[in-house]
Structure 1
Amino acid sequence: VKSQHSERCIDFLTKELKVSNEKQAQERVLFVSARETLQAR
């Protein structure tokens, strides 16, 4: 699941919005699991 979300975000930033290159997008995309967030509460 994490890799799918990361790929979609990177594609969105680089191909659709064209605000970043792929390397920069990989460094900036952060994945937070909803399940982990709820468990931490």
Structure 2
Amino acid sequence: MAVAFTDEERARITAGLLDAAERLYASQGLKKTSLEELVAPA
């Protein structure tokens, strides 16, 4: 069974994903950004 994330961990992961998405979308555009690229920093 998976372990639930704490509120702090959830906030850190969310912030990291949003930051990665902003950077990648700005540099590559939405169509050229893969899910693998988005989750790599997280």
| Structure with higher RCO (Cα < 8 A, 6+ apart) | 2
**Structure number with higher helix proportion:** 1
Q: Provide TM-score, normalisation by structure 2.
A: 0.47
